[in-house]
Amino acid sequence: MREIHDFEFPERFIAGTVGMPGERTFYLQAIDGRRNVSVALEKNQLAILAERIVALCKELKMGKAQDLKRNNRPLPQLLTPFSEEFRIVALSLTWNAQTEQLIIEAQGGEESEIVEDIDTGPPLLRVTLAMETALGFALDSFTLISAGRPPCQFCGAPLDPQGHVCPRANGYRR
Protein backbone atom coordinates (compact mmCIF):
# COMPACT_ATOMS: atom_id res chain seq x y z
CA MET A 1 0.00 0.00 0.00
CA ARG A 2 1.28 3.45 -0.93
CA GLU A 3 2.15 5.80 1.92
CA ILE A 4 0.28 9.08 1.28
CA HIS A 5 0.43 11.91 3.82
CA ASP A 6 -2.58 14.07 2.94
CA PHE A 7 -3.00 17.47 4.62
CA GLU A 8 -5.98 19.64 3.70
CA PHE A 9 -5.46 23.16 5.03
CA PRO A 10 -2.93 22.17 7.72
CA GLU A 11 -2.37 24.37 10.77
CA ARG A 12 1.17 24.96 9.53
CA PHE A 13 3.03 24.30 6.28
CA ILE A 14 6.56 25.63 6.37
CA ALA A 15 10.05 25.24 4.99
CA GLY A 16 12.95 25.13 7.41
CA THR A 17 16.55 24.09 7.74
CA VAL A 18 18.80 22.18 10.08
CA GLY A 19 22.52 22.96 10.18
CA MET A 20 24.84 25.86 9.51
CA PRO A 21 24.91 27.80 6.21
CA GLY A 22 26.78 25.75 3.65
CA GLU A 23 25.81 22.55 5.46
CA ARG A 24 22.06 23.08 5.82
CA THR A 25 19.47 20.42 5.09
CA PHE A 26 16.16 21.83 3.86
CA TYR A 27 12.79 20.42 4.92
CA LEU A 28 9.10 20.88 4.21
CA GLN A 29 6.97 20.30 7.29
CA ALA A 30 3.19 19.93 7.45
CA ILE A 31 1.54 20.03 10.87
CA ASP A 32 -2.10 19.46 11.69
CA GLY A 33 -3.02 18.63 15.27
CA ARG A 34 -0.82 15.78 16.39
CA ARG A 35 0.17 14.88 12.83
CA ASN A 36 3.60 16.12 11.81
CA VAL A 37 5.32 15.09 8.56
CA SER A 38 8.76 16.35 7.55
CA VAL A 39 10.38 15.65 4.18
CA ALA A 40 13.84 16.69 2.97
CA LEU A 41 14.47 18.56 -0.27
CA GLU A 42 17.22 20.47 -2.04
CA LYS A 43 17.49 24.23 -1.75
CA ASN A 44 16.93 24.64 -5.50
CA GLN A 45 13.74 22.54 -5.30
CA LEU A 46 12.41 24.89 -2.62
CA ALA A 47 13.38 27.93 -4.70
CA ILE A 48 11.58 26.58 -7.78
CA LEU A 49 8.47 25.74 -5.75
CA ALA A 50 8.39 29.24 -4.23
CA GLU A 51 8.95 30.87 -7.64
CA ARG A 52 6.11 28.86 -9.21
CA ILE A 53 3.71 29.80 -6.38
CA VAL A 54 4.48 33.51 -6.84
CA ALA A 55 4.21 33.21 -10.64
CA LEU A 56 0.84 31.48 -10.30
CA CYS A 57 -0.36 34.18 -7.93
CA LYS A 58 0.62 36.86 -10.43
CA GLU A 59 -0.94 34.91 -13.31
CA LEU A 60 -4.21 34.64 -11.40
CA LYS A 61 -3.93 38.34 -10.54
CA MET A 62 -4.30 37.49 -6.86
CA GLY A 63 -1.75 40.07 -5.79
CA LYS A 64 0.02 43.02 -7.30
CA ALA A 65 3.78 42.88 -7.59
CA GLN A 66 4.20 45.48 -4.85
CA ASP A 67 1.97 43.42 -2.53
CA LEU A 68 4.19 40.34 -2.89
CA LYS A 69 6.51 41.32 -0.08
CA ARG A 70 7.10 39.45 3.13
CA ASN A 71 6.40 41.43 6.28
CA ASN A 72 9.10 41.48 8.94
CA ARG A 73 7.74 38.74 11.15
CA PRO A 74 10.18 36.04 12.29
CA LEU A 75 10.48 32.96 10.11
CA PRO A 76 8.47 30.00 11.38
CA GLN A 77 10.65 27.31 12.93
CA LEU A 78 10.51 23.57 12.33
CA LEU A 79 8.72 21.65 15.05
CA THR A 80 11.37 19.47 16.69
CA PRO A 81 12.21 16.75 17.25
CA PHE A 82 11.18 15.21 13.95
CA SER A 83 12.22 12.39 11.69
CA GLU A 84 12.65 12.66 7.95
CA GLU A 85 9.91 10.64 6.23
CA PHE A 86 11.66 10.70 2.84
CA ARG A 87 13.72 12.85 0.47
CA ILE A 88 11.77 14.57 -2.31
CA VAL A 89 12.61 13.59 -5.88
CA ALA A 90 9.55 15.08 -7.63
CA LEU A 91 7.31 18.07 -6.93
CA SER A 92 4.06 19.16 -8.52
CA LEU A 93 1.89 22.21 -8.13
CA THR A 94 -1.77 22.17 -9.14
CA TRP A 95 -4.32 24.98 -9.05
CA ASN A 96 -7.96 23.93 -8.70
CA ALA A 97 -9.87 26.89 -10.16
CA GLN A 98 -13.27 25.58 -9.03
CA THR A 99 -12.33 25.39 -5.34
CA GLU A 100 -9.58 28.03 -5.52
CA GLN A 101 -7.14 25.69 -3.82
CA LEU A 102 -3.47 25.07 -4.45
CA ILE A 103 -2.26 21.47 -4.17
CA ILE A 104 1.42 20.73 -3.62
CA GLU A 105 2.59 17.15 -4.07
CA ALA A 106 6.05 16.07 -2.97
CA GLN A 107 7.10 12.52 -3.81
CA GLY A 108 9.99 10.39 -2.58
CA GLY A 109 11.42 7.24 -4.17
CA GLU A 110 13.14 6.89 -7.52
CA GLU A 111 10.56 8.23 -10.02
CA SER A 112 11.31 11.72 -11.37
CA GLU A 113 7.62 12.35 -12.12
CA ILE A 114 4.65 12.19 -9.77
CA VAL A 115 3.06 8.71 -9.82
CA GLU A 116 -0.74 8.99 -10.07
CA ASP A 117 -1.58 5.47 -8.83
CA ILE A 118 -2.95 5.81 -5.28
CA ASP A 119 -2.48 2.13 -4.42
CA THR A 120 1.16 1.59 -5.35
CA GLY A 121 4.09 3.88 -5.72
CA PRO A 122 6.59 5.86 -3.70
CA PRO A 123 5.66 7.89 -0.61
CA LEU A 124 3.82 11.15 -1.21
CA LEU A 125 3.12 14.31 0.78
CA ARG A 126 0.03 16.15 -0.52
CA VAL A 127 -0.80 19.54 0.95
CA THR A 128 -3.88 21.59 0.00
CA LEU A 129 -3.62 25.31 0.74
CA ALA A 130 -5.51 28.54 0.24
CA MET A 131 -3.56 30.77 -2.15
CA GLU A 132 -2.89 33.36 0.55
CA THR A 133 -1.29 30.68 2.77
CA ALA A 134 0.75 29.36 -0.16
CA LEU A 135 1.99 32.87 -0.97
CA GLY A 136 3.08 33.37 2.66
CA PHE A 137 4.92 30.03 2.46
CA ALA A 138 6.66 31.13 -0.76
CA LEU A 139 7.77 34.48 0.64
CA ASP A 140 9.06 32.84 3.84
CA SER A 141 10.92 30.33 1.65
CA PHE A 142 12.71 33.10 -0.25
CA THR A 143 13.83 34.61 3.05
CA LEU A 144 15.03 31.22 4.29
CA ILE A 145 16.99 30.56 1.08
CA SER A 146 18.67 33.98 1.16
CA ALA A 147 19.79 33.45 4.78
CA GLY A 148 22.54 31.09 3.59
CA ARG A 149 26.07 31.87 2.48
CA PRO A 150 26.52 35.16 0.61
CA PRO A 151 27.15 34.89 -3.14
CA CYS A 152 30.48 35.69 -4.81
CA GLN A 153 30.25 39.11 -6.47
CA PHE A 154 31.91 37.72 -9.61
CA CYS A 155 30.41 34.28 -10.30
CA GLY A 156 27.39 34.11 -7.96
CA ALA A 157 28.50 30.84 -6.33
CA PRO A 158 28.14 30.67 -2.54
CA LEU A 159 31.12 31.86 -0.53
CA ASP A 160 32.53 29.76 2.26
CA PRO A 161 33.99 31.63 5.26
CA GLN A 162 37.47 30.98 3.82
CA GLY A 163 36.40 32.03 0.29
CA HIS A 164 36.17 29.78 -2.79
CA VAL A 165 37.93 28.98 -6.03
CA CYS A 166 36.23 31.36 -8.44
CA PRO A 167 35.91 30.18 -12.07
CA ARG A 168 35.73 33.80 -13.25
CA ALA A 169 39.08 34.52 -11.62
CA ASN A 170 40.84 31.65 -13.44
CA GLY A 171 40.84 29.42 -10.38
CA TYR A 172 42.16 31.92 -7.86
CA ARG A 173 40.56 32.10 -4.45
CA ARG A 174 38.20 34.97 -3.64
pLDDT at residue 168 tops 90: no
Q: What angle do CA 83, 125, 39 make, to 5 degrees?
A: 30
The residues, ordered by sequence, that sit 6+ positions from 156 with a Cβ below 8 Å of its Cβ are: none
4-169 in CATH: which number? 3.30.2450
**Residue-wise pLDDT tens digits, 49-93:** 999 999 998 898 775 544 556 667 788 999 999 999 999 999 999
- Total Cβ atoms within 10 A of residue 16: 21
pLDDT at residue 165 tops 80: no
Domain residue ranges of the chain, discontinuous segments joined by +: 4-169
> What is the β-pairing status of strands 124-130 and 101-107?
antiparallel
pLDDT at position 171 is 60
Q: pTM of the full predicted structure? A: 0.83
pLDDT at residue 164 tops 80: no
Q: What angle do CA 31, 53, 29 make, to 5 degrees?
A: 20
Q: What DSSP string runs through 114-166?
A: ----SSSSS-EEEEEEEHHHHHHHHHHHHHHHHTSSPBPTTT-PBPBTTB-B-
pLDDT at position 30 is 98
**Residue-wise pLDDT tens digits, 81-137:** 999 999 999 999 999 999 999 999 999 999 888 988 888 899 999 999 999 999 999
109: left (phi over 0), alpha (psi -120 to 50) or beta: left
